[in-house]
Every structure is written in C-alpha cells, then in structure tokens.
Amino acid sequence: MSTVVEELMQMQISPAGGGGDSQSHPGKEQQAAGVGILLQIMMLVLSFVLGHVLRRHRFYYLPEASASLLIGLIVGALANISNTETSIRAWFNFHEEFFFLFLLPPIIFQSGFSLSPKPFFSNFGAIVTFSILGTFIASVVTGVLVYLGGLIYLTYKLPFVECLMFGALISATDPVTVLSIFQELGIDTNLYALVFGESVLNDAMAISLYRTMSSLKSHAPGQNFFMVIFRFLETFVGSLSAGVGVGFISALLFKYAGLDIDNLQNLECCLFVLFPYFSYMLAEGLGLTGIVSILFTGIVMKHYTFSNLSENSQRFVSAFFHLISSLAETFVFIYMGFDIAMEQHSWSHVGFIFFSIIFIGVARAANVFSCAYLVNLVRPAPRQIPVKHQKALWYSGLRGAMAFALALQSVHDLPEGHGQTIFTATTAIVVLTVLLIGGSTGTVLETLQVVGDDHDGPLSESLDGNNGYVAPSYNEDATSGNRLKMKLKEFHKSTASFTALDRNYLTPFFTSQNGDDEEEHGCMTDDPMPSSRGRGFLGHN
C-alpha cells in the first residue's frame, strides 16, 4: 500500500514543483501534500455549505456551480501570491486521466441513473433529435465558423479538423445550474425533461464526435467521408451496445442470484457498484468510449436492475451514487476556477475566446430551432414545442465538466500549442456561461413567461418516481390531414410501441415483476436522491 501511495505522489507532484529540496527532505513533501489535500477538503466543505445557504434563501443569481467555481477562483488567486503556491499547484496538477477515471464516471452514471422512464420515453423522439442530430449540427456549425474566422484573420487560425474537434468538445452541454433553478421555479414538465435528457445523451454524442475527429487527425487524414461515418458509428454504437449489454447482464444476475435478502445486502451493494466501472473499463479495453458505455449502463440499470434489489440496497446505492457524483462534480467546478487563476493560459488569443462564444451561440440556435422545427412537424398541435420553450432550450446550453475534460485532453492530442489555446478558450467559456447564464437564468425564465408553466402539476410531483408524469393528450381531429403529417405521426407513435414492448416483454424478462407491477413499484422505490448533475427530478431538499 505504501508503494502505491508513493507512486501516486510521484504522479501528482510535478518535478518543477518538487525540486531537489523536496527530494532531500521527504518530510516537507508529505507536509506539502497534506496542505494540498486539506485545502481541497476545505473548499469542498465551503462549497456545499454555501450552496445550501444559497438554496435556502432562494438566491438564484449565484447558483451552486457558480459558487463552487468562484471559490476555486478566489483560492487560486490567493495561492498565486502566497508562499504555498508550489505545493498547492502540485496537488491540483493532475492529468486528464484523473477526470476520465475518477471524476467523470460517477457524474455520467448518475446522469443516466436518474432518468425517469416516463418523461424520458414520452419525449424520446425529441430528446434523441436534440441530443444526436442537434449536437452534430452544433459541432459542425461551430467548427466551420471557427475555421472561417481563422481564414479571414478574425480569430486564431486552426486546421479544419482541429476546428471540428473544438466544435465537438464545446457542444457538450451541462446545464446543472439551469436545471436546479428549473426545479425551484417550477417550469413545464416536458421542458425539464427535454433539457435534462438532451444534456445526458449529448455528452455521448460529443465525446464520440471528438474521438472520431481525433482519430481522423492522428491516423489517416486522407480517409474519405464514409470511413469517417463508419468510425463514428463504430465508436458510438459499439459503446452503447457494451453499456446496454452490461446493464442487461446485471439485471439478470440480480434477478436469478437470490441476493435480495437482508444478510446479503453488503454483497448486493458491492456488485451493483462494480458493474458501472466494469462497463466503463470493458469499453475502454475494446477501444471504445467508456463514458458513453457507462451512461447507457446507468439508464438500463436504473430501469431494470434497480428493481431487483432489496429495499435497503435500493436506498443505499441511490444515496451512494448521489454522494460520489456530488463530490466529483463540485470538485470539477472548484478545479476549473482554481485552474483559471493558477495555470499559464494562452490569453494572447482573446479574440478566439470572444468570437468562439458568439459562434457557439449561433450554433446553439441552429441546433435548437432547426430540431424544434422537425419535432413540431411530427407532433400534433397541442404537443408542439412553443417558441418560448425553444428560447429557454437555447439559453440553457451551458458548458461544464465534459467540455472541460475533453479540452484538457486536447492539450495532449494537439501539438504546436493549439490544444493549449483550445483549453484556455474552453475554460473561459465554461466559466462565463456558468457565471453569466447561470446567474441570469431566473430572470430570463420570468421574461420568457415559463415560470409556473407546469401544466401537468408541480414539477416534483410530475416527475416523482417513474409514474408521476402524464404525457399531454391530444385530439387527432385537430391535426392536419395531409399525408406527410400522417406518416410523421405514425413515426412519432414508435415511442409508444417501444413502451409497450418494454412493459410486455423486457420488464418481465429482466425483472422479477411484470410491467404493471413495475409501474406501481416505481412510485415507492424510485431514487429519493436527486442527480448531482441535474439536481435530479426531485430536486434538492
């Protein structure tokens, strides 16, 4: 064990930070490590306490994520002018592997684990449209605009493939701040489900696009368009299949192993916690994307495996994943603020940051309004997405942990300082969107008149458990009778067909109850803890 600890310390403490003095005095090295860890713990404690105070007083101008980011920014600025700068910087100077192995997996798993099937599947077509097609549109539009800006010397010039990589990573949304305010203000159930569902699935799309573009740049820049599409599908579909497969295996194991008895609760919980990381490592070992795999494992395990656990184990795993995802996400925002103050960034390209923000806004608009148009072609009039909800969707496109982690990886993927420029721009964009958009969300929602627009009842009731959501009904006679819209309506009803398949076949096969029992059971055993990422469908207490 001591050898492992020594290796971790060697990895975390940079040679420049340690120096020959620390090598000759191991006691000072341990003291510096202790100071760094103590500071991290203190910032986490302060972030949680401050977040609780802000929520209790309904102070929406400084959401929790913004508060965590500001704490890191302030501490980093103070450390920069103090004698403890070297030791603190050393313990915050970890590699992107730390994000992808320890911080992002619990955050992403909890995002999928907190999806309630009722609102998710009732808006499944719209969510897939925004998260898959919309993310692709946003990535391409951002990359093309950045490239054109470089050609006319409006921004820092990057190669076209690197512009597409930047467009892919910056298209990953993380509206943790917006969703927490949605919950507090009580907005439309479907709008909440759209924003939350898009943010969960669009991470999978963004990281698959980034990995595809990175592979295209590194290995075969002369590949044709069809090979690029094949590589993307191989990464995305393969990762999705690995995650869903592991989720189904876990459901069958817990159904037939007979672990749902009191004296085996510890074994039951241990196995449940290990399956997500098994899914992640399996995908990585196969050359796929672990983040995508663990996301879909979370969705499947919540819908099927979770109901095969004993009641005590259900409460424990819900609280456990909420706990570690909350800690991980809070630490990410603290680190982002700390990084801005401590690290050497490429601030010489301020124009690249400024115009990138404008380009991202344009790309987000192309994403939301074009996809909403397509969704409204499919949906009947009473269920169409109103313009004010489309504006709220556009405004909720904050950037967060996934964009930051991919940008951190780009430092190593892109040479000649291009990765550092992208990392600086991404960090600045995340900070600005979290502080400015997050702090003004309440005012914007009131201006758009979507506050209190929850026609299905209070949000906490409409999304409580797996059954609280009731999709709005519509009159068939009120829709257009033309042939195209009739075809689109038939396509739209495929979601209901999948729901029937799930209720009649999948749920009885993978769980120890039939579909009707599963619905009744969902009211009692749904995750009582909110998602760290979206603050859950139940919200914070």
Cβ distance 235 to 288 under 8 Å? yes
- Residue 173 bridge partners (DSSP): 399
C-alpha pair distances (Å), 525 with each of 306, 311, 465, 521: 9, 7, 7, 6
Read off the pLDDT of residues 106-145 as tens digits, 9 standing for 90 and up: 888 888 887 766 677 778 888 889 989 999 999 999 999 9
- In this structure, the number of other CB atoms found within 10 A of the CB of residue 102 comes to 13
Q: Is the backbone of residue 449 left (phi > 0), alpha (psi -120 to 50) or beta? A: left
DSSP helix/strand/coil, 136: helix
DSSP helix/strand/coil, 376: helix
- For CA atoms 430, 432, 437, 440, give the dihedral sign: positive
Q: Residue ranges of the chain with pLDDT lower than 70? A: 1-26, 82-96, 116-118, 175-177, 180, 219-225, 260-262, 343-348, 452-498, 513-541
Read off the pLDDT of residues 50-76 as tens digits, 9 standing for 90 and up: 988 888 887 777 878 888 888 988 888
Q: Nearest to residue 333, comparing CAs of 115, 76, 81, 85?
A: 76
Q: Which amino acid is at 57?
A: H
What per-residue confidence (pLDDT) applies to 86?
A: 53
C-alpha pair distances (Å), 233 with each of 219, 236, 289, 474, 481: 17, 5, 12, 36, 37
Cβ distance 105 to 296 under 8 Å? no
Angle between helices 311-342 and 418-432 (to 10 degrees): 110
In DSSP notation, 190-246 reads: HHHHHHHHHHHHHHHHHHHHHHHHHHHHHT-TT--HHHHHHHHHHHHHHHHHHHHHH
- How far is it, in rounded angstroms, from Cα 478 to Cα 463? 28
- How far is it, in rounded angstroms, from Cα 156 to Cα 349? 7
pTM: 0.76
DSSP helix/strand/coil, 398: coil
Cα-flanking dihedrals φ and ψ of residue 399, to 5°?
-110, 150
- Residue 399 bridge partners (DSSP): 173
- Residue/partner pairs of 221-224 with CB below 8 Å, 24 or more apart: 221/161
In DSSP notation, 270-316 reads: HHHHHHHHHHHHHHHHTTS-HHHHHHHHHHHHHHTGGGGS-HHHHHH
Q: Nearest to residue 433, comparing CAs of 47, 65, 48, 43?
A: 65
Angle between helices 189-218 and 176-185 (to 10 degrees): 180
Cβ distance 325 to 107 under 8 Å? yes
- How far is it, in rounded angstroms, from Cα 291 to Cα 240? 10
